């Protein structure tokens, strides 16, 4: 992945010549897969260590920088799958498609990933993953100028490389990792699942109940409502826990940290806006975005899709706290 583009939450829509959209929240399918949510394991742990993290990230940087060069100089997205997976891969593919639609060939840049905090759960098999707070420094720029990012890397089999599947900016200090290990307890996994459900409920109603949203999550929730105007109908917005290509539940990643647990919750969303009257038309104000999404010209409806990441702190004995949230467009 490159340093991700900052996209506005709302679409810029033009209408010729309303009611507010609903949000449809689809529940997750039962309890999370223990191998993906890091519930305690009984067998010998397969834990990535501090000694392994730096060489692993150097290997990732080599694959990622090759993918960046291919995307920047040839507008070719084929290198991303060697570096990234899941939601991050979808974001990579969108951003390369957008650059291709714009004809925006650029000189390649490089990124260097430096670990700051490692949260590595124990696993007794594959798939396995870990979370890390890092800096990602562009070539030629001072590391001190770069903010921290919260990343998740996963490994499918012993023969596979580690690939990034979650990435978010971290505006404050990262939670402290534990020397005693990062495997979340069953109770912490359950608390993370409840936080997922609380955020889904908030996105559907706009009323926080079990979890207090941050400003960026508030903006995401209100965006489809802010988008409506006379003559334009926002159809039900669908928000679901993120699932991988194989149908696996990749929506909850939770680790133990000092004083509690840290969870990254991932959703995917779909929004549709439709004209209210026959003969009216709607179109995307950004012609490059319209070309990227194959939604050029005047239309009766416009559809947008994307992913939403939410980082939640689950303190021992306290209510969940949203640390930050990021949303990105996808194809």
Q: What is the pTM of this model?
A: 0.88
Pairing mode, if any, of strands 13-16 and 281-284? antiparallel
pLDDT band at 33 (very low <50, low <70, confident <90, very high): very low
Q: Which residues are within 8 A (CB) of 141 and not within 5 positions of it... i.e. 6 or more apart?
A: none
Q: State pLDDT tens for residues 161-170.
A: 999 999 999 9
pLDDT band at 9 (very low <50, low <70, confident <90, very high): low
Q: Above 60 in pLDDT, residue 36?
A: no
Q: What integer best gives the mean pLDDT of the chain?
A: 85
Q: Above 70 in pLDDT, residue 194?
A: yes
Quick one: average pLDDT of 204-231?
81
Residue 104 and residue 91 in contact, taking contact as beta carbons nearer than 8 Å: no
Cα 192 from Cα 200, distance rounded (Å): 12
Q: State pLDDT tens for residues 247-283.
A: 778 899 999 999 999 999 999 999 888 888 888 888 8
> What's the distance, CA 322 to chain centroid?
15
User: Please, which residues bridge with residue 171 across strands?
Assistant: none
**Domain boundaries, given as residue ranges, for the chain:** 13-330
pLDDT band at 223 (very low <50, low <70, confident <90, very high): confident
CA distances for 240 relative to 12, 196, 271, 288, 327, angstroms: 24, 10, 12, 27, 14
Cα 8 from Cα 237, distance rounded (Å): 17
Q: List % helix, strand, coil for the chain (3-state, nearest 5).
A: 30, 35, 40
Q: State pLDDT tens for residues 289-313.
A: 999 999 999 999 999 999 999 999 9
Quick one: average pLDDT of 204-216?
89
Q: State pLDDT tens for residues 143-187.
A: 445 679 999 999 998 899 999 999 999 988 999 998 778 999 999
Q: State pLDDT tens for residues 78-98.
A: 999 999 999 999 999 999 999
pLDDT band at 41 (very low <50, low <70, confident <90, very high): very low
Least confident window among 39-43, 106-110, 283-287: 39-43
Least confident window among 35-39, 89-93, 156-160, 325-329: 35-39
What share of the chain in percent tops pLDDT 70? 83
Q: How many helices (H) and strands (E) does the chain have?
A: 6, 13
pLDDT of residue 240: 93
pLDDT of residue 282: 87
pLDDT band at 236 (very low <50, low <70, confident <90, very high): low
Cα 114 from Cα 60, distance rounded (Å): 11
Q: Above 90 in pLDDT, residue 47?
A: no
């Amino acid at each position: 992945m490159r340093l991700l583009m900052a996209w506005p939450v709302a679409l810029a829509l033009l209408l010729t010549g309303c009611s507010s959209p609903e949000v449809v929240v689809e529940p997750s399918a039962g309890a999370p897969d223990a191998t993906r949510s890091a519930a305690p394991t009984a067998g010998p742990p397969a834990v990535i260590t501090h000694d392994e993290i730096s060489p692993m990230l150097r290997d990732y940087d080599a694959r990622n920088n090759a993918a960046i060069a291919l995307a920047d100089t040839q507008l070719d997205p084929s290198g991303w799958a060697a570096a990234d997976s899941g939601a991050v891969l979808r974001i990579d593919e969108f951003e390369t498609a957008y650059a291709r639609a714009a004809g925006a060939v650029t000189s390649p840049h490089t990124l260097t990933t430096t670990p700051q905090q490692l949260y590595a759960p124990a696993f007794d098999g594959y798939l396995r993953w870990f979370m890390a707070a890092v800096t990602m420094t562009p070539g030629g720029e001072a590391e001190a100028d770069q903010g921290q990012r919260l990343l998740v890397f996963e490994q499918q089999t012993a023969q596979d490389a580690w690939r990034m599947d979650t990435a978010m900016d971290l505006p404050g200090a990262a939670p402290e990792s534990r020397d005693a290990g990062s495997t979340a307890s069953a109770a912490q996994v359950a608390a993370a699942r409840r936080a997922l459900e609380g955020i889904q409920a908030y996105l559907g109603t706009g009323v926080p109940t079990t979890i207090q949203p941050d400003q960026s999550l508030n903006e995401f929730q209100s965006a489809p409502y802010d988008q409506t105007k006379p003559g334009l109908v926002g159809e039900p917005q669908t928000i679901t826990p993120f699932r991988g290509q194989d149908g696996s539940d990749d929506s909850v990643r939770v680790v133990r940290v000092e004083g509690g647990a840290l969870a990254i919750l991932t959703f995917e969303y779909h929004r549709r806006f439709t004209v209210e009257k026959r003969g009216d038309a709607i179109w995307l104000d950004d012609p490059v975005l319209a070309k990227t999404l194959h939604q050029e010209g005047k239309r009766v409806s416009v559809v947008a899709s994307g992913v939403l990441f939410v980082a939640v702190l689950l303190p021992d004995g306290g209510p969940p706290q949203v640390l930050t949230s990021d949303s990105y467009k996808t194809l």
